[in-house]
Structure 1
Amino acid sequence: MSSLATRTLYSPSGRWLYNDAEQRAARYTPFDVDALQEIACKSVDARHCTAFTKIAEGSYNKIFLLEFDNASRAVARIPSSIVGNTHLSTCSEVATMQFVRDELESRYAPKVLAWNSSSSNPVASPFIIMEYLPNPPLQSCWYHIKGAQTGHAMSDICWLQHSFTLRKFSQIGSLYFKEDVSPELQDRPLYLSDEDNQRPSAEKYRIGPIVDREWWRGERRNIQADRGPWPDMASYITAAARFAQECLSLGIDTNSSFARSSHEDVPEIHRLLEKCIAIAPHLAPPDSSLLSPLLAHPDMSASNMLIESPEKPSVKCFLDWQGAIVAPAFMQTSIPALLAYTDGVFELDSEGCVPPLPEDIDQRPTDEQEYLRLHHKLLSRYRFYLAQLPQLVPLHAAAWRYPHQEITSDLPLYVLRCWADGPLKLRDALMKISDPDSSAVPCAIDFSPAEREAHDEELRARVRYQGMVEKLVEYVGCDGQGWVEEERFEEARRAVEGVARQWDDAVGPFPFRDGSWSFFLN
């Protein structure tokens, strides 16, 4: 393989309309292609690899299809450094997939053929080699199927969510094979109940440090800190706040132009983190069943679900278990991305029902008809999911009845990104949680009327700004980080330059300038 072809495998596809060099460097992932092929050949009893093709990539991985001389095929995943701790992430991802196959159902996760979490192995990078599944993703037909076809997919999604509730763990963290955690953690039980700890899996697996990248990104990976496992929700949230304080004290990212915060924000961020620590012991819901640590899939999007066929879209396998964590049931009940409806074209009425289509729908232009019918269908699916879940996964329904469940579940994220994304989201969460008019949480913290008024004004300004950014993204045809396909780069760059000349800086800074905020670069 030529050096140019090899570099193409290492490098990310596409371009970024701002911070391009930094984004590409963060995703550049060198590895020994020949060594990976040799290991893959052994895993499928082949002599030679006849084809090696990059078939997909995201910010965290590159995915390759390997074909062999014995007609076998396999898939290889190479993680990028954006993951944070690629060693622990790989260990946990493999253990999680095997646990799902052992304890839930074998079809729920792909079979791992070979793996190594070290960067000093012959491949010179962590890797996972898995079975190849030729099934199409649900994404290929999700917007077109209807009726019973939709029901096939939704029932499989709900069944996976229900399956997660059957195994309650002893701690909060991430799953590992027993031999991959410290001796001290090996001595701790896997499950919460004595009965479950008699299962074979109780000897095979353990809970170890959390692999969520927010605890490991950038220079954070070098900090010695409490990354779990933790015994309860209060310990988890408190540890996140203490970790954020430590990063701030050490100056991690405080000079980065890619962050939204400035040095003037430091005192407020410290105050917010102290408020978070103060309120942490009061956030647990009174229903003890919602506190048991459960596993959940980290990214239930349609692209991560392989189906039998577009005609019968029952889910045959769930992909991408990287970054999975074990957390309180209360915090593991998010609506799958493909079923959540937040576009606002239609909204549920006051009784939670889907409104009818406009009476003149048939008289509208064809493209508008298709647009409205699609959004009406997506809202109807969301409503059906909400209606069915109390029977299919009652634990989720119980969690949703608790005030501010979603905000509380996202609190660790807001804490760990309070410098990168600015204090607004963390402040907003704490204000809502502690609002005496709408919260069940004892008021361990408070904000003055003046603080709340100033926050509301800042929040309205951010919403206006975000709306402008979303219009820019739609107009240019890129993703939220400014990524476009290579062949569209020059066209999109010219479009960005045109918008930049007309941008109203009173709304906020133009987002697509080098050095601007970026989710992945801070």
Structure 2
Amino acid sequence: MSARLRTPKLCSSVFKPVPPRIRPRPWPSTTPPSRGIASKTILADCNPEPFYASSSQRWLWNEPSQLARRYVRFNLDALVQIAEEAAGQNAVCVNVTKLQEGNFNKVFLASMQDGREVVLKIPNPNAGMAHYTTASEVATMQYVREKLNIPVPKVLGYCSRASGSSLGAEYIVMERAPGVELARVWDQFKGREKVAIVKQVAAITCKLARARFQANGALYKREDVAAAESIAIDEHFAIGPTVGRSWFDDRRGEVDVHRGPWDSAESLMKALAHREVACLHKFDKFPQDTQQGIFNGPRGYHPTKEAKLSVLDDFLKVLPYIIPRVWKHTEIETETKISSGILWHNDLHAENIFVDETNPSKITSIIDWQAVPISPLFLTAHHPSLIEYDGPQLEGFTKPVLPSNLDTLNPEAKKAAKQLFLAQSLWLTYEIEVQRNAPQLLRVFRYRETLPGQILGLIGSIFDDGEPYVQSVLAEIAQGRTWKQTIADNAEEAGQQPSVADCPLQYSERELADQQKQLQKWSRDIERKAQVLDEIGAYTGWNGAVPLSDYEEVGGRLEAAKVRFLEREARDENEKKAWEAVWPFQDTPGCS
């Protein structure tokens, strides 16, 4: 049979008309017929490169390095054989479809002659640490499916070591998720159908929040991780080194640091800080794509290794006093350690949720459990992406209301008011369900907004960015009254007597004034970048990726935005050259 290959078609563009802001969501999946193959035949008539390479997007800068991080060569004939073996007895594969690519994996749908289907997932080089990322994903899927009764595709087979795989690459083969992506039907739902979905999502996150682990790292099957680098939790599973993306992105995977497991939240937080210190000592430059501002320009903020190291040093001094201990509850548990490790799905959005085709308000499967670490509840739990929205958030359990003058609004304003009302209602629905079933989770959401919560949540990104803001929060918490209140609040939740320890941080008036000056410069540079991104129609953290069909258009937008930026910011020719030199949306030396 002749093998055919078609370029997969994107079902939606990541770029929207300006001014709407683009959210950094994974690429949506599609199932276009990309090629048919005959079972157990040598595929000499097929050009395999589109299977190995990233074929659905391009990058406006550093493209060669981005493509290299997403290139995987493997044995196509072995892929067919693996699919047939996983599908079961007498399976004959008649078609393999390359599904829409995400940032970290290649996914294929293998169809058998009798209608059976399996999904094969091959990680890209940028997915994380070899072996550990795949092994942990398999264990996590098995654990949440069997132990927590969360609907997850069944793993039919896997190989976490490329050297031992006939495919020549790591892989997971699993059942196809039943149903249809929620993203395809969400906009067609009525309010009550969306409420039903949100209640189920809340139930799933509550299950995750209640499943506590006494160590942090990542979950593995015991046979996939050495005893010397793991902590067994039962006869089947163990906690081993973390697979969290923050430990590998932006070259963090290149530093030699301890990656777990950790027996306490405090030891994990120390490791986070030490990891950032190691990156600062190893690398001369800071990652640009993840920086929130356009830094190092005239009159702007200039990040320095010294400032970043100083913030990390101050953090380590106050860590023993601000780390959450034990929170007491009477609703469900006598004691709830929010420092206990939990599994948490990081991308609960509409593309990773599948629903029943005949009853679309029923969730049938949750996909994408790659790089899910076991981390402290206070560090990892957050509201699902599905219910996030732009607009004011209501305090507590306040019910949303429509404007009293709704009938007098123009059609566009009326539509916006109704959309905000629905978004706020879904948010409230989620919080009510969480309060009923896992009240400690709701407390954690509130805790993340406190000064200690902000510090703990941001300290792991100092190598990239954020040191002026974290420094300002540390300075605020070091003030006499604030310090005493912070210690008292922490002790009260733990049912303990407040500590009388003095704050280990002391700042002079001159230091505080300089901190505020740097914070203002940093904030102004963030505004500069935000304006450029708004003009392009992109999001903070954008790495230049665009769908193939949008490459020329978005490139034109970027060039026009640069011209406007230089006209706004450069006061003379020297400043123009200085801003051009630090323009973040261009090839980095050594990467182009």
Q: Calculate the TM-score normalised by the size of structure 2.
A: 0.76
- Counterpart residue type for residue 49 of structure 1: C
The reply to whether residue 296 of structure 1 matches residue 344 of structure 2 is: yes
The reply to whether residue 278 of structure 1 matches residue 317 of structure 2 is: yes
Supply the distance in 2 between the matched residues of 1:478 and 1:445 (Cα, whole angstroms).
Answer: 32
After superposition, give the CA deviation of every residue in 1:180-201 in whole Å (9 maximum; x if it has no partner).
Answer: 2222355x442xxxxxxxxxxx
Q: CA deviation at 1:338?
A: 1.1
Pairing partner for 2:280 from 238, 245, 248:
248
Which residue in 2 is equivalent to 1:513?
585
Which residue in 1 is equivalent to 2:438?
393
Q: CA deviation at 1:453?
A: 1.7
1:465-504 to structure 2, matched below 5 A, reads 465-474=528-537, 480-504=542-566
| C-alpha contact (below 8 Å) 2:128/2:371 kept by paired residues | no
- Counterpart residue type for residue 164 of structure 1: L
Which residue in 2 is equivalent to 1:24?
67
Pairing partner for 1:382 from 414, 427, 445:
427
Q: CA deviation at 1:355?
A: 4.6
Q: CA deviation at 1:279?
A: 2.1
Secondary structure class of the residue paired with 1:176: strand
Supply the distance in 2 between the matched residues of 1:77 and 1:301 (Cα, whole angstroms).
Answer: 20
Supply the distance in 2 between the matched residues of 1:339 and 1:255 (Cα, whole angstroms).
Answer: 33
After superposition, give the CA deviation of every residue in 1:366-403 in whole Å (9 maximum; x if it has no partner).
Answer: x5543443233212211332334211221112223436
| C-alpha distance 403-312 of structure 1, shift in aligned 2 (>3 A) | closer
After superposition, give the CA deviation of every residue in 1:169-226 in whole Å (9 maximum; x if it has no partner).
Answer: 120111001122222355x442xxxxxxxxxxx2100110110122234654344321
Q: CA deviation at 1:354?
A: 2.6
| C-alpha distance 393-88 of structure 1, shift in aligned 2 (>3 A) | same
Secondary structure class of the residue paired with 2:345: coil
Q: CA deviation at 1:95?
A: 0.3
- Counterpart residue type for residue 393 of structure 1: A
Supply the distance in 1 between the matched residues of 2:72 and 2:543 (Cα, whole angstroms).
Answer: 20
Which residue in 1 is equivalent to 2:394?
348
Supply the distance in 1 between the matched residues of 2:424 and 2:241 (Cα, whole angstroms).
Answer: 38
* Farther off after superposition, 388-397 or 355-364: 355-364
Supply the distance in 2 between the matched residues of 1:268 and 1:112 (Cα, whole angstroms).
Answer: 47
Secondary structure class of the residue paired with 2:167: coil
The reply to whether residue 42 of structure 1 matches residue 73 of structure 2 is: no
1:171-182 to structure 2, matched below 5 A, reads 171-182=215-226
After superposition, give the CA deviation of every residue in 1:145-181 in whole Å (9 maximum; x if it has no partner).
Answer: 2333123211211111221234321201110011222
Supply the distance in 1 between the matched residues of 2:386 and 2:472 (Cα, whole angstroms).
Answer: 26
Which residue in 1 is equivalent to 2:241?
209
| C-alpha contact (below 8 Å) 2:533/2:539 kept by paired residues | no
After superposition, give the CA deviation of every residue in 1:51-90 in whole Å (9 maximum; x if it has no partner).
Answer: 1111122111121111112321011111111123031010
- Counterpart residue type for residue 211 of structure 1: V
Pairing partner for 1:357 from 389, 392, 403:
403
* Farther off after superposition, 493-502 or 120-129: 493-502
Supply the distance in 2 between the matched residues of 1:255 and 1:402 (Cα, whole angstroms).
Answer: 30
- Counterpart residue type for residue 551 of structure 2: F
Q: CA deviation at 1:358?
A: 6.7
Supply the distance in 2 between the matched residues of 1:32 and 1:386 (Cα, whole angstroms).
Answer: 48
Q: Calculate the TM-score normalised by the size of structure 1.
A: 0.85
Pairing partner for 2:100 from 34, 56, 61:
56
Which residue in 2 is equivalent to 1:236?
268
Supply the distance in 2 between the matched residues of 1:216 and 1:502 (Cα, whole angstroms).
Answer: 35
Which residue in 2 is equivalent to 1:194?
none
| C-alpha contact (below 8 Å) 2:96/2:111 kept by paired residues | yes
Which residue in 1 is equivalent to 2:378?
330
After superposition, give the CA deviation of every residue in 1:21-73 in whole Å (9 maximum; x if it has no partner).
Answer: 33222212222222122111111124432111111221111211111123210
Supply the distance in 1 between the matched residues of 2:414 and 2:98 (Cα, whole angstroms).
Answer: 38
| C-alpha contact (below 8 Å) 1:14/1:485 kept by paired residues | yes
1:3-152 to structure 2, matched below 5 A, reads 5-12=47-54, 13-45=56-88, 46-105=90-149, 107-120=150-163, 121-152=165-196
Q: CA deviation at 1:293?
A: 1.7
Task: Give RMSD over aligned pairs.
Answer: 3.3
Q: Kindly name which structure, 1 or 2, has the bigger radius of gyration based on alpha carbons.
A: 2
Supply the distance in 2 between the matched residues of 1:478 and 1:430 (Cα, whole angstroms).
Answer: 25
Q: CA deviation at 1:478?
A: 12
Which residue in 2 is equivalent to 1:267?
306
Q: CA deviation at 1:236?
A: 0.5
* Farther off after superposition, 203-212 or 297-306: 297-306
Supply the distance in 1 between the matched residues of 2:133 and 2:220 (Cα, whole angstroms).
Answer: 10
- Counterpart residue type for residue 360 of structure 2: K
Q: CA deviation at 1:431?
A: 4.8
| C-alpha distance 369-466 of structure 1, shift in aligned 2 (>3 A) | farther
Gaps of 5+ in 2: 1-42, 297-301, 328-335, 488-502, 571-578
Q: CA deviation at 1:128?
A: 0.7
| C-alpha distance 310-484 of structure 1, shift in aligned 2 (>3 A) | farther
| C-alpha contact (below 8 Å) 1:234/1:281 kept by paired residues | yes
Supply the distance in 1 between the matched residues of 2:469 and 2:102 (Cα, whole angstroms).
Answer: 26
Gaps of 5+ in 1: 191-201
| C-alpha contact (below 8 Å) 1:234/1:283 kept by paired residues | no
Which residue in 2 is equivalent to 1:167?
211
Q: CA deviation at 1:325?
A: 1.3
Pairing partner for 1:320 from 355, 358, 368:
368
Secondary structure class of the residue paired with 1:272: helix
Secondary structure class of the residue paired with 2:187: coil
1:425-444 to structure 2, matched below 5 A, reads 426-427=470-471, 430-431=474-475, 434=478, 440-442=485-487, 443-444=503-504
| C-alpha distance 162-122 of structure 1, shift in aligned 2 (>3 A) | same
Supply the distance in 2 between the matched residues of 1:254 and 1:285 (Cα, whole angstroms).
Answer: 33
Q: CA deviation at 1:264?
A: 5.9
| C-alpha distance 321-352 of structure 1, shift in aligned 2 (>3 A) | same
| C-alpha distance 444-384 of structure 1, shift in aligned 2 (>3 A) | farther
Secondary structure class of the residue paired with 1:109: coil
Q: CA deviation at 1:241?
A: 1.1
| C-alpha distance 478-435 of structure 1, shift in aligned 2 (>3 A) | closer
After superposition, give the CA deviation of every residue in 1:435-466 in whole Å (9 maximum; x if it has no partner).
Answer: 66667545443554314422441343144224
Q: CA deviation at 1:286?
A: 4.3
* Farther off after superposition, 138-147 or 222-231: 138-147
Supply the distance in 1 between the matched residues of 2:469 and 2:540 (Cα, whole angstroms).
Answer: 25
Secondary structure class of the residue paired with 2:361: coil
Supply the distance in 2 between the matched residues of 1:280 and 1:396 (Cα, whole angstroms).
Answer: 22
| C-alpha distance 397-478 of structure 1, shift in aligned 2 (>3 A) | closer
- Counterpart residue type for residue 439 of structure 2: P
| C-alpha contact (below 8 Å) 2:69/2:126 kept by paired residues | yes
- The percentage of counterpart residues that share the same residue type is 24
Pairing partner for 1:370 from 415, 435, 451:
415
Which residue in 2 is equivalent to 1:199?
none
